[in-house]
Structure 1
Amino acid sequence: MGDIAVVGIDCFFPGAYGTDAYWELLLRSGDAIGGLPDERWTAADFPAVSRGGFADGIDSFDHAFFSVSPREAAAMDPHQRMLLQCAWRAIEDSGTAPPALAGTDTGVFVGMMGGEWGRLTMSDHRWVTPQLGAGGSAGMTANRVSYHLNLSGPSLTVDTACSSSLVAVHLAVNSLLSGETSTALAAGVNLVLSPSLGLVYEQLGLAAPDGRCKPFSAEADGIGRGDGVAVVVLRRLEDALADGSRVYAVIRGTAVNQDGRSNGVTAPSRWAQQKVLEAAYRRAGVTPDQVRFVEAHGTGTVLGDAIECAALGAVHGVRRAEPCALGSVKGNLGHTEGAAGLAGLIKTALALHHRLVPASRFADRENPRLRLAERGLRLLKSPLRLPRGETVAGVSSFGMGGTNVHAVLATAPRRIAAGGSAAARVPAPGSTGSTAGVFTLTADSPEGLRRNLAVQAAAVAARPRGAAAALCRSSNRVKTGLPYRFATTARDTGELAAALFEAAEADADAVVGTRRAPSWSRPTVAFLFTGQGSEYPGMTAGLHRESAAYRRHLEEADAALAPHTGFSVRELLLGADPRVRRTRYAQPALFAVGYALAATLDGLGVRPVAVLGHSAGEFAAAVTAGALTLAEAAELVAVRGALMEELPRGAMLAVGIGRGEIAPLLAAEPEAVLAAVNGPSDVTVSGPVAVLDRIERALRADGVRARRLGVAHAFHSPGLQPVLGRLRERAERTAAVRPQIPFASCRYGRMLREEPLDAAYWVGQAAEPVLFGEALEALVRESAPTHLLEVGPRPQLLPLAGRSGAARGRDFLHPCPGPESGGRELAEVVAALYRAGLDPDWATLYEPRDRGDERLAPYVFSTESRFRNGRRALAAPADTAPPAGPAHTGTTEPASAVRTPAAAAAASGTASQRTGGSREVLAAVIAAVSEVGGYANEEIVPTTRFYEDLGFDSVMIMQLKDRIEARLPRLGEISVPHMLPALRSVATLADHLGVQITAKAAPAA
């Protein structure tokens, strides 16, 4: 069979909440057995079954994160609640953002034994509700994951008793191999909610008096039960390799069989167990002597251990270099029943990943009756270090009804186990060793964002200090997709940890900005291309060193320009050649920079809604807008720069007054002309050097700001007349194509309509004044950008835009704001746009060596809401840290009455606003919504959305209809079809009902 990669893991076991904690428990041979937690049954009533592997916090659930109402969450089986959170974290661990799997053929295969919750909650028929119907169904456990994550692959819950979860793995593997799914979640879940099964074990003589399983030990005296939730994410190995995923281990083969009619339906069969081992090894293509260790079922019952060892010995008792190591995690956790197979598989995958097999508890007093040594087996009394090369291991799980399963695992291919190929980590020519990345994090609420910022900060701080780019790249893949966004740039992990700690301690509004970035909100960006006068030696050299994308696009521009310039723009820039200030060099260099920056931004997903170019900047703008090809623009710019180099010397002067105020001075100096109108109080004058000297002295004497531009010619003046004919001759050979993106023309001072960018246009824009201020006003008015982004080697146009007043309310961005700029400034632009709602193509930002898969701390869910005995319990006091659970790593979330994203966004004042309906109608709707969903009234505000925030479905809508009718009898019967369009938010429903009441109260005509 083909190989299947284990690419993601999350688990929740007693005393081990998360994969790292589980591995730590195993390494220290930890004992997770203890007394009964308070939220279970009363220990005094059933003392014989009051010890075991019980996990704290199984009543906590972040219902708002999954848009589940409190009433529905209270009705949900805790197995469903815990599995939802565990599945999310496992997908993150696989290097994928869970929202990215929405709509895919991802399958969910869950092993779960029994259905205690349904029996506990639906036995009293007086309290049966529609929510309990779904909440108490074991079959819904897998469906919940598929529904809430919007997965469209197979979704099923399998119950084969104690082998359930490893059978789920078998089904998931076969689904992947058949092509039915491309990703599969295999899970096991087992929570000990009542003493019932423990009493069965006791009556069968299978219960350990101290609640501990002691696998293969002379002290073995029965089963101790344990809680467990575990999820692995599986993919075909070739797909995982192609994506560069981290692979914990490889599943080489699985097999399932049945005891058939043996010596009792609940008794194990040695022969069936032996056959399932042999079948698994055949499918895996291995021989028993290649299997280095086996994670056994190992319940610690006298009969079970004896039969399992006999079967293992029959298969593994062959000539081999050393005995096959044997262990069972049940010695640490107890028997996690429906999750037991995955508990063993995860232990095995981690052992292969770390190349270290933990010692087994109770191995020091081996049961001599098992004759392990003569059967080619040995218990691990100390950890076993695995050699280099491939190691093969087996995992067994047997169900009480006779369904047996065995899986064969092996170490991952070396280049993947190490976190990426060596070739991918070799620095590219011209690059530096430490580049800036953007670390991203998203959450469902401002409180959730702060909570997870603190967790990520602690995790990053615990790492050895080093480059942060690969860690940032992993965050871009994994920590995205939720409505509240955070992004920061960093070069190393020390800097990143400090930024995360600072953000975690900041006010929530300061972290997420003044508004959230919902899925329907996207920034709109206009590009402003800088013209001549912004050039300087070595411009963008830092960005060239740190951005592979920029290097590639600058080389494209250089190749296009070289046949027409006779020199290399790239060498000119990187050599900090002072000739760049001369016109024949400056204009091609600025064009190359503008083109390369725009192309780099485009590759990152930053695409303009409109473009504007200032003078020579219009050529790069025209390429970006699709009106000129790179080759056409390169030739035009090269010819333009060379021709203008022939002109006599001249000068240009930037003046801080308006067109009308400069007119008298120009009238007195006929050789000087108005060259640019950049705003109401920003003009540029062009003319002979001596003339501009006189104008500058006069302006300064009057206290007017005047600054000489760094150019050697009087551009946009009659002085260009001698070269315009030759410029026209070259431009006439260029095809005139209309821009594909709205183009703000600085020649016309407005958006282009039907006018082509033909020869007449290019000649006119060289000689006529630049009407930047008017063009910018037109761009802002007609394209309504949220951000203005200047494309050039340093800010020149953004200050003009700021002074003009035409861009009020717009954010200004610059990817290369000066000589010291490098990759960080580009990263900061992307970070700002991400916070505003852009979803960039992150890979373009990073060097190939930084694209490895780094493991991040998993999402930390809120533990504020707790659900006990089918009811929502009060949150723990703010000064009391709730027990660390699968959703908690020791931090406490401050209590908040507003838990939904919309409510959190509205908490600053929207909650008190009146809707179009009366206060009475609004109050009635809020009360009805609260009752149907089980919310407190203060949790519902007018902007709360029914589907996205409250998780309403058709059943809840019908219940809402009934409750509103009871509270507002004047309405009479509500038409559900007419009500549905109004169910956008609480406010829109109140408005709709208010209109209906008003219409019914109006006198007949």
Structure 2
Amino acid sequence: MGRPSGPSSRPATGRRLAPPVAVVGLDCRFPGAPDPEAYWRLLRGGVPAVGERPAARGPTPSPPGGFLADADAFDRAFFAVPAADAEAMDPQQRLLLQCAWRAVEDAGASPARLAGTPVGVYIGCMSDDWLRLSAASPDGVSPRTGTGAGRSMLANRISYQLDLRGPSVTVDTACSSSLVAVHLACSALHAGECELALAGGVNIVAGPVLDEIYAQSGLAAPDGRCKPFAADADGIGRGEGVGVVALRLLEDAVRDGDAVHAVILGSAVNQDGRSNGIMAPRRASQRDVIAAACARAGTRPEEIRYVEAHGTGTLLGDQIEALALGDVFRDDDGVRERPLALGAVKGLIGHTEGAAGIAGLIKTVLALRHGLVPADPPPPGGANPRLALGSRGLELLTEPLTLPAEGCAAGVSGFGMGGTNAHLVCGSVPSPRPSGGPLPFDTRGTPSACSPGSEPGSVSAGSAGVFTLSADSPRALRRNLRLQAVDVAGRGAAEFARLCWTSNRSRAHLPYRFSAAADTPEELASRLFAAADLDADFQDAGFRDAGFREAEFREGEHAPAVAFAFTGQGAQHPGMTASLYRHSALYRGFLDEASAALEPHTRAPVRETILAGDPAVHRTGLAQPALFAVEYALARTLMELGVRPVAVVGHSVGEFAAAVVAEALDLADAARLIAVRGTLMQRLPEGGGMLATRARSAEAAALVADEPSVGVAALNGPGSTVLSGDLTALGRVRARLEERGLACTPLTVSHAFHSPLMAPVLRDFEEAASRVTSGRPRLPFHSTVRGRLLAPGEDLDAAYWTEHIASTVLFEAAARSLCAQRPAPTHLVEIGPKPVLCGLFRRIAASRDLPALAVCRGADSGARELGEALARLHQDGLDPAWDGLYADADRQVVRMVPHAFSTEWRSWRHAAQTAETAAAAPGERPPSGGLFADRVREGVREAVALVKGGRCDDLDDQLRFYDDLGFDSVMLMELKYRLEVRFPELGELSMPEMLSSLVSVESLIGYLGEQLEAAVPG
């Protein structure tokens, strides 16, 4: 037969008809391969994963095939699915739900954060086995059957459970279903219906119907193994599997730094029409769909190096497919240098029917990502000579095929039993952008040589690595910690920050959390292993004793309420926050902003003084502006990272930065005030001093009453008082204190702050302050001048700031006020260059039990300390805005080990009910008295357990239907039906009458007992 002619026999070349689509995430489970990495190993190994059918699948004997080991397992607790709902769900729904979750995470996105967004879901399937099983079971049909076993619910279940608002479509075109689903997903992306689409397919062999169809049609392989294009090909061997890909337009993926597995360049779908039979393939239609896909991709035939064929291993199917491929790719014009390589994954895993297309697509995507197409198993009996593959420009892939890094394309075919055909053209990730700039990744999904900060062995400057992981239970968290620990231990330093950023972005923030700041993969792996190995009955104290505070498990039901506490003068030191300035662009920008605001009012630029490590920072005229600048920058950095304070408190000059955060002062006014304040105090004559003592407030006040040049500077807590004033007078006070056995410590200061010696500057400062606009705090402002929360009408005006200079710092009172506010803070974060207030908070009873975190811990503090504060807050329920913690070059997705779901809960199909349900024979009366009551109690408890899920032995008769058991209207209707089956003597029960008795299990038992007494006369 000559080669058909016509306009569709060869793909048109030239301009691509639609923008390429990036495969940004994927997940799969196939026989012998529980995840994509295992699937790749299976493909590389080339050993078919065909075996005996699990006993749970149906009656024996049944033909062998490719089966999943644990298709009945489902992590229902993770998805908060009640047991009864999970039991009614088609295992295909369960598998898809877990697979979709992992595909989204692989795309570098958190599934939880997609809730409410227009994400599309397109799922291919062709099996109704579960519905048939349910209908065949005596108690298999219930109100849950429609949502549990309906094929339309496969896509809808994902959309519902993840709260996705885009198109949600289940596709059934038989064996081409999942490839058609991918085509529709790409079309939706092109049309702007969604920016992210999940597409895939699933197949579980739960019943014998298709076995019978294949057998009676002469399509079944006796040994259960597909043999694509082989001389011994003798039919279909069935297989199971599930796969999902996450898709975005390539342009969007590149813009957002997504890691891309491969690219879909074009796709097409058509139909055989009226062929030689509805199950018979048509050569021309297959040829046309391949040609159309190539034309839409703008790809020439010689650019297609490999095709993942449909390859069922049936004589007619293989022959028609080979003819169609030859029509498109045969080299009649001397253009193709090498034959087209041909493969089919069905030879390894069987014909996965509704998931066949996605199995082939994921194989091709992995091959493009790795730059290698694995060889297929040797065809039994060799290649089928009747196909004349060589003369058609085709060759079976019996050896691994190395793909070029660029300009490589591969095709994927899927042909449905009813005649719906699909073909996709895929390509490796292009290294140059259309504009000539570099992509941030290469074909393997790793940083390219032209990426910033990608030099071997280097860690990008400006990155603090905080690795986060969470789960729905402590056991699940430990299970995943172990997997991540093994993976992290094998990572290189160059991708460490990217790995941490990916964990922040892609892992849902579930109740039980692990967070750890680390500098190297080795350090992080050690922490992960240690946390994973803790005993199941862990206690918080155990973590602290082990030194793994970052690894605490906490149930973060509510986000932390964080109060900012701003440190006062004395915490400053040369070079403070210099490391953070170098390594955090976010902090650098805010410190520059504060320094610029101060520059008109200070003799020396504050930023340069700080960064140079100049001891002049201790001079009052510079110390106060420098502290303000650092505290403003630290607070704004935390706020940009998602830490929003619910209240503020400031110790002495710390109140100026607190006032800016509370929006009572703008930055320019606060900068002017703090600079004037420091300058005026610097001009005062030296000679004053300050004395820390354990005297309590009343005792301290009595001691200074006779010393007019000494005042109580600060009341910081129980037994923590600071006196300030003239040195000679302070000496007399100190002597009296030591006579009473109270220790005293002189402080190194230049002036006697918060003392009567400040009086000479008050008039000049008040004049300057009067020119600044006063304001009212928008956040609760716990004043250390007033020792309480400022009232709604109180302004931070010139009078307040003037009083602030010489008045006592009432820190203890302000801390008590802070902890008494409603809602009360759950965490205290000290904003300053080193921790001072954290220790004071621990001395005050009201704040003693609150976590007090320091952003800076001393001279070398930098991004690590900032990361540790965020890690602790994340453990306790905060979801930070992590991006600001990382340099631009580190905000790129890298592949992580996928989430490992629990396999403890398992359910295959409805168990037949064996309880007696027949009515009493005519003339016979049911047992009376105690036996009659036992029957009612047993029947009600059994029906409630069936509806709710669980064992009737676990039911307490006092449980209430609404408050305790969570019954809704659908569950009540199912309960009514089951009671009618269990007690046929009653006929149809009246729901309005039942409602008054549906208070508890006990009340329902009483009601039905009365109904039975009335229905069966004595």
* 1:262 matched residue in structure 2: 275
Equivalent position to 1:541, from 551, 561, 578: 578
Check the 8 A contact 2:941/2:952 in 1, yes or no: yes
* 1:789 matched residue in structure 2: 829
The 2-side partners of 1:790 and 1:978 are apart by 57
Label 1:692 to 1:423 Cα distance change in 2 as closer, same or farther (>3 A): farther
1:593-635 superposed Cα distances (whole Å, 9 cap, x missing partner): 1101100010011111111111111111111111111111111
Label 1:206 to 1:385 Cα distance change in 2 as closer, same or farther (>3 A): same
Check the 8 A contact 2:831/2:854 in 1, yes or no: yes
Equivalent position to 2:122, from 109, 114, 118: 109
* 1:360 matched residue in structure 2: 376
1:714 positional shift: 0.6
Check the 8 A contact 1:460/1:493 in 2, yes or no: yes
* 1:779 matched residue in structure 2: 818
Give the TM-score normalised by the residue count of structure 2: 0.86
1:653-683 superposed Cα distances (whole Å, 9 cap, x missing partner): 1211212222343245332211122224222
Are 1:575 and 2:590 matched, yes or no? Answer: no
1:872 positional shift: 12
The 1-side partners of 2:352 and 2:840 are apart by 68
Worse overlay, 509-518 or 165-174? 509-518
* 1:613 matched residue in structure 2: 650
What SS is found at the alignment partner of 2:56?
coil
Equivalent position to 1:505, from 511, 516, 533: 533
Check the 8 A contact 1:467/1:491 in 2, yes or no: no
The 2-side partners of 1:869 and 1:101 are apart by 32
1:250-308 superposed Cα distances (whole Å, 9 cap, x missing partner): 11111111111111111111111111111111111112121111111111122211111
Check the 8 A contact 1:436/1:827 in 2, yes or no: yes
Are 1:41 and 2:78 matched, yes or no? Answer: no
Label 1:662 to 1:872 Cα distance change in 2 as closer, same or farther (>3 A): farther
Check the 8 A contact 1:23/1:347 in 2, yes or no: yes
Check the 8 A contact 2:553/2:875 in 1, yes or no: no
Alignment map for 1:393-432 (pairs within 5 Å): 393-414=410-431, 415=439, 416-417=441-442, 418-419=445-446, 422-425=450-453
Check the 8 A contact 2:689/2:724 in 1, yes or no: yes
The 2-side partners of 1:558 and 1:195 are apart by 76
Alignment map for 1:297-336 (pairs within 5 Å): 297-318=310-331, 319-336=335-352
The 1-side partners of 2:479 and 2:656 are apart by 48
Worse overlay, 3-12 or 753-762? 753-762
The 1-side partners of 2:451 and 2:768 are apart by 46
Label 1:124 to 1:694 Cα distance change in 2 as closer, same or farther (>3 A): closer
1:52 positional shift: 1.2
Label 1:923 to 1:113 Cα distance change in 2 as closer, same or farther (>3 A): closer
* 1:279 matched residue in structure 2: 292
Check the 8 A contact 2:855/2:869 in 1, yes or no: yes
RMSD of aligned alpha carbons: 3.3
Worse overlay, 500-509 or 522-531? 500-509
1:689 positional shift: 2.5
Label 1:506 to 1:766 Cα distance change in 2 as closer, same or farther (>3 A): same
What SS is found at the alignment partner of 2:151?
coil
The residue type paired with residue 171 of structure 1 is L
Equivalent position to 2:152, from 119, 139, 143: 139
Are 1:732 and 2:770 matched, yes or no? Answer: yes
What SS is found at the alignment partner of 1:230?
strand
Alignment map for 1:118-133 (pairs within 5 Å): 118-124=131-137, 127-133=140-146
The 1-side partners of 2:315 and 2:177 are apart by 22
* 1:646 matched residue in structure 2: 683
The 2-side partners of 1:280 and 1:332 are apart by 26
Equivalent position to 1:387, from 401, 404, 413: 404
The 2-side partners of 1:464 and 1:947 are apart by 54
1:825-878 superposed Cα distances (whole Å, 9 cap, x missing partner): 2112111211222111111112222211021111111111111232499xxxxx
1:105 positional shift: 1.4
Are 1:551 and 2:551 matched, yes or no? Answer: no
1:127-168 superposed Cα distances (whole Å, 9 cap, x missing partner): 422223332222221111111111122222111111111011
1:112 positional shift: 0.6
* 2:357 matched residue in structure 1: 341
Worse overlay, 301-310 or 444-453? 444-453
The residue type paired with residue 730 of structure 1 is A
The 1-side partners of 2:962 and 2:860 are apart by 49
1:419 positional shift: 4.1
What SS is found at the alignment partner of 1:35?
coil
Check the 8 A contact 1:107/1:154 in 2, yes or no: yes
Label 1:960 to 1:264 Cα distance change in 2 as closer, same or farther (>3 A): closer
Are 1:528 and 2:565 matched, yes or no? Answer: yes
1:152-189 superposed Cα distances (whole Å, 9 cap, x missing partner): 22222111111111011111111111112222111111
Alignment map for 1:934-945 (pairs within 5 Å): 934-936=949-951
Check the 8 A contact 1:469/1:490 in 2, yes or no: no
The residue type paired with residue 478 of structure 2 is R
* 1:601 matched residue in structure 2: 638
Alignment map for 1:707-718 (pairs within 5 Å): 707-718=745-756
The 1-side partners of 2:884 and 2:906 are apart by 43
The 2-side partners of 1:673 and 1:833 are apart by 39
Label 1:482 to 1:461 Cα distance change in 2 as closer, same or farther (>3 A): same
Structure 2 unaligned spans of 5+: 1-17, 432-438, 541-550, 914-936, 1008-1018
Alignment map for 1:483-882 (pairs within 5 Å): 483-508=511-536, 509-510=538-539, 516-518=555-557, 521-649=558-686, 650-753=688-791, 754-783=793-822, 784-871=824-911
Are 1:26 and 2:43 matched, yes or no? Answer: yes
Check the 8 A contact 2:139/2:912 in 1, yes or no: no
The 2-side partners of 1:946 and 1:499 are apart by 45
1:541 positional shift: 2.0
The 2-side partners of 1:840 and 1:241 are apart by 24
The 1-side partners of 2:701 and 2:992 are apart by 71
Check the 8 A contact 1:100/1:481 in 2, yes or no: no
Worse overlay, 468-477 or 333-342? 468-477
The 1-side partners of 2:127 and 2:991 are apart by 43
Give the TM-score normalised by the residue count of structure 1: 0.87
The 2-side partners of 1:16 and 1:750 are apart by 64
Equivalent position to 1:955, from 970, 974, 988: 970
The 1-side partners of 2:814 and 2:565 are apart by 11
The 2-side partners of 1:124 and 1:719 are apart by 92
Label 1:593 to 1:124 Cα distance change in 2 as closer, same or farther (>3 A): closer
What SS is found at the alignment partner of 1:168?
helix
Label 1:961 to 1:557 Cα distance change in 2 as closer, same or farther (>3 A): farther
What SS is found at the alignment partner of 1:806?
helix
The 2-side partners of 1:227 and 1:237 are apart by 31
1:339 positional shift: 0.6
What SS is found at the alignment partner of 2:166?
coil
Equivalent position to 2:948, from 933, 953, 964: 933
1:70 positional shift: 2.2
1:707 positional shift: 2.2
Alignment map for 1:233-248 (pairs within 5 Å): 233-248=246-261
The 2-side partners of 1:948 and 1:392 are apart by 59
1:341 positional shift: 0.7
Check the 8 A contact 1:248/1:353 in 2, yes or no: yes
1:952 positional shift: 6.1
The 2-side partners of 1:102 and 1:952 are apart by 26
What SS is found at the alignment partner of 1:17?
coil
1:721 positional shift: 2.0
What SS is found at the alignment partner of 2:245?
strand
Label 1:498 to 1:431 Cα distance change in 2 as closer, same or farther (>3 A): closer
What SS is found at the alignment partner of 1:868?
coil
Label 1:126 to 1:626 Cα distance change in 2 as closer, same or farther (>3 A): closer
The 2-side partners of 1:185 and 1:943 are apart by 45
